[in-house]
Amino acid sequence: MFRIDPVKVGVADSRLMAEIVAARPVLSSERSVYKPAAGSDIPHDSATRTIRALGRDAMAGIRKPPPPARGMAGSWPYAGTSYLRRWLFSADPLPVSLLSKRGVTRSDTLSRLVDRAVTRWPGSAGQDGCTALAGLIRGADDPVERKQAIAMYRRATATLCDGVAALTGNALWLMGPERDRPENRADLTAVLWETLRLLPPAWMLYRNGGAAYTLLHPEIRPEDDVALFPLLMHRHPDYWSDPLEFRPERWDGVADPEKAPAFMPFGFDGARCWAKHLVVPLAERLLTVALDNRLVVRSPQQEAQVPLRSLLSVRFAAQVGT
């Protein structure tokens, strides 16, 4: 455990992390997707419907042919995010499809305008070609439920596409110049698990302070917020041999990587990523498309300042090969 600033501590020890996560349930304000929307908490049944709808949309999307590969060129992970959104959610007609556009989501003004438009003209619930997530908006019974469905559509699509693009970009960078060799493509699932170890997109979990943690460590005070760092735990020599080496073969024969000691790619029980069952299959599909089209990594950024609440993603320029 280490102190980050006067009111924030960091934790990288596997046992202490588990104790902190188990000390109390996750607060709604600590969740990125299921935090309150439209002035109200997200009901559990609404969250469950969103997860199921997103799962159907993601699996249906990756069964479709991918968009033209030229869409993968540009600055990563942003190009990967836009490519995924186009692949998975472009079937939704206007104005719903604008909810997943990165150019819209980055502007508060545009986001508010699109939200109002979707609230007024969501289309019919049974409209052909729309995603299951869009159907939740159109099937909402009242304005508050519709506003929450709009917020969930935007958050769910952004969180999934941002996370998958970050994981795929990190894997491309870690594979290095040898990524095109056939032997290095033999087990892309192992490549992604090793990427989740070295460069986990969800590299930090944040917990608001409180008395629940003070008995777990003498240096944690009630006013201290707590940051849990899988990134550091995944690189600790007490838990891993050659911890800084990219070695996908370390996952050979591992039936359930999530049960590996000191490995937290998607969080702990009770606080696991809601989309964890989608992330690796989607990233493997996106990584396959990138390799099939000989995506060339240019000018990777070797040093960057990563905000505490940001995804950990390697940034680079990419070109589609010939």
**pLDDT-based confidence at 105, cuts 50/70/90?**
confident
- pLDDT confidence of 299, banded at 50, 70, 90? confident
Structure confidence at residue 269 (pLDDT) = 61
53-71 pLDDT, tens per residue? 999 999 898 889 999 999 9
Contact call for residues 94 and 122 (beta carbons, < 8 A): no
CB atoms within 10 A of CB 85: 23
Token pair of 3, please?
A: 């102190």
What distance in Å separates the CA atoms of residue 20 and residue 233, rounded to the nearest whole number? 15
Return the percentage of the chain with pLDDT > 70, whole number. 93
Q: Angle of helix 78-89 relative to helix 44-63, nearest 10 degrees? A: 90
pLDDT of residue 172: 94
pLDDT reported for residue 142: 84
pLDDT at 265 over 80: yes
Span 146-164, pLDDT tens digits: 888 988 898 889 889 999 9
Nearest to 134 by CA among 105, 183, 93: 93
pLDDT at position 276 is: 78
Strands 225-228 and 8-11: parallel
Under the banding of pLDDT at 50, 70 and 90, the label for residue 141 is confident
Flag whether the pTM goes above 0.85.
Answer: yes
- State the pLDDT at residue 120: 81
Q: For position 197, what pLDDT does the model report?
A: 96
